[in-house]
Amino acid sequence: MIKTGTMPGSPSSERKGGTAGSILILEKDPALRQAFSRHLTRWGEHPLLADSAEDALSLIRGEPEVFLAFLNLASISTPGLDLMEAIQDANPEVSVILTTDYVDPSTALPFIERGAFDYVKKPFLFEEIEILIRRVREHQELRSQATTLQILQETKKVERQNLIDFMIGLANLIDAKSPYTREHSDRVARTTKVFTRFLGLPRKDYEDISFGAKLHDIGKVGIPDSILNSTGKLSKEERQIMNDHPQAGARILKPILVMKDIIPMVLYHHENWDGTGYPERLREEEIPFGARIVKITDYYDAITSHRPYRSPLSLEEASQVLRSERGRILDPRLTDAFLDMLHQGGLENPNVSGVLPAVR
Ligand SMILES: [Fe+2]
Ligand SMILES: [Fe+2]
């Protein structure tokens, strides 16, 4: 090992120019080595000098801050590729630049293929070296930003997945609160997924609408069980509490940015086509498209599942009821499409895997 360019007793933080990290020079020619050292020190860099592969490796292993290595392959007896791999193993952050005595660029090609940053042919100007060092720093800065961005994106994905899981848990909790709504949100979500695919909607839309269907009654979480499970007629106040659930659901989801496309299905799934629904008495196409779909699938599930006051309707009976509500509470064209799907057996063997949106 020859020496480093740092003056004894001068901590790296006091280096001229204040640049971080060290640059390794593997060079057999003492005059060139010293020229490297002089220039690098003048530019505020911290050179580490080696005249053999062993020295180069032990410097890399001993100095975690090395970010760049200039390797002159004519200076070593071991195969150059082996040395480069050993350096990359010891510190994957190190960029390698070859200084080559050969004019033929194919000599450097296998190194570039294995990840060397660049090569420079002798004789070179030190201005070239300065530019190369700048390029390496920029490249490493970009690489580190890309890594940070990737980590952030991964974290965002996990957070989004956690929120989705939490909301699904909440919807399941509401289903479980009442014996009459057990698995209601799951069935509505599955029927919605089959229907939206039958309609040929783009993936993002059918995932959002199906997820909205899963969460459509989430606002019922605050409704007392005595009202939720009541089999008798609700008082005016109780009816008001019950009918507030679309708005309560929207209030739950509103602060969560990733849920913004889900809110229309939650807030407007009790609006009627003829303007007699709630909470805003919207009519016809004022009602968001996704909410008109969930209105049908929610309604279909209500009439085809057990209720304390009646048994579930058969497919034929349910179709008849849907037809009678076509254009009254239900969007007429969507109802026609839903009936088509029913009669084509769309819900008999629904090939639907999951109801959840893909994590984007
Ligand atoms: Fe509802
Ligand atoms: Fe519902």
- Asked if 103 and 168 sit in the same domain, the reply is no
**Residue pair 143/93 in contact by the 8 Å Cβ criterion:** no
Q: Which ligand is nearest to the CA of 302?
A: 2
- Asked if 114 and 190 sit in the same domain, the reply is no
Q: Is 186 helix (H, G, I), strand (E, B) or coil?
A: helix
208 C-alpha vs ligand 1 centroid, how far in Å?
17
Residue 223 has pLDDT above 90, yes or no: no
Residue 13 has pLDDT above 50, yes or no: no
In 14-144, where do the E strands start and end?
A: 22-26, 47-50, 66-72, 95-100, 118-121
151 C-alpha vs ligand 2 centroid, how far in Å?
38
Residue 208 lies in a domain: yes
Residue 120's CATH number: 3.40.50.2300
Phi-psi region of 17 (alpha: psi -120 to 50; beta: other; left: phi over 0): left
Last residue of a domain, one of 102, 124, 146: 124
198 C-alpha vs ligand 1 centroid, how far in Å?
23
Cα dihedral value 334, 339, 340, 342, nearest 10: 130
Distance CA 14, CA 90 (A): 27
Split at pLDDT 50, 70, 90, the class of 9 is very low
Residue 168 lies in a domain: yes
Q: Which ligand is nearest to the CA of 245?
A: 1
**pTM here?**
0.61
- Asked if 47 and 164 sit in the same domain, the reply is no
Domain count, the chain: 2
The predicted pLDDT at position 358 comes to: 43
The predicted pLDDT at position 349 comes to: 67
Residue 103 has pLDDT above 60, yes or no: no
The predicted pLDDT at position 342 comes to: 93
- Asked if 46 and 173 sit in the same domain, the reply is no
Q: Which of 183-192, 212-221, 296-305, 351-360 has the lowest mean pLDDT?
A: 351-360
- Asked if 110 and 202 sit in the same domain, the reply is no
Cα-based angle 65, 67, 68 (whole degrees, multiple of 5) = 135
Domain of residue 244 covers 157-343
- Asked if 120 and 161 sit in the same domain, the reply is no
- Asked if 161 and 302 sit in the same domain, the reply is yes
**Residue pair 325/132 in contact by the 8 Å Cβ criterion:** no
176 C-alpha vs ligand 1 centroid, how far in Å?
15
232 C-alpha vs ligand 1 centroid, how far in Å?
18
Split at pLDDT 50, 70, 90, the class of 20 is confident
Q: What are the pLDDT digits (tens) for 169-219?
A: 889 888 887 777 778 999 999 999 999 999 999 999 999 999 999 999 999
Residue 263 has pLDDT above 80, yes or no: yes
- Asked if 196 and 94 sit in the same domain, the reply is no
Residue 123 has pLDDT above 80, yes or no: yes
Q: Which ligand is nearest to the CA of 270?
A: 1
Split at pLDDT 50, 70, 90, the class of 63 is confident
- Asked if 191 and 304 sit in the same domain, the reply is yes
Average pLDDT over residues 59-70: 91
- Whole-number mean pLDDT of the chain? 86
Q: Which ligand is nearest to the CA of 186?
A: 2
